[in-house]
Amino acid sequence: MDEYSRIIIEEYCMKYPKTKKAALLLKLVRMSYDVCCIPTDMQIMQLSQLISREKKC
């Protein structure tokens, strides 16, 4: 993930810290800093659903 993308996502998470979307995104951003970390199938599915919902808006 590009550093610019991480910054935008982190800013969103700070602006809306109590939402489910922010919690998921922040967890995935933190994981992206660890090159050995692999997301679970559930996390991949949640991110895919989140992206689909955002595209519809």
Note down pLDDT in tens along the chain; length 57 residues.
678 888 999 999 999 999 999 999 999 888 888 888 888 999 999 999 998 988 887
Token output for 38: 């692999």
> In total, how many domains does the chain have?
1
- Full domain range(s) for residue 7: 3-56
DSSP string, 1-57: --HHHHHHHHHHHHHSTTSHHHHHHHHHHHHHT-TT----HHHHHHHHHHHHHHHH-
pLDDT at residue 1, as a whole number: 62
For residue 4, what pLDDT is reported?
Answer: 82
Alpha carbon of 34 to those of 14, 20, 29, 39, 50: distances in Å? Answer: 21, 22, 9, 11, 22
| Both tokens assigned to 31 | 């994981």
The pLDDT of residue 10 is 92
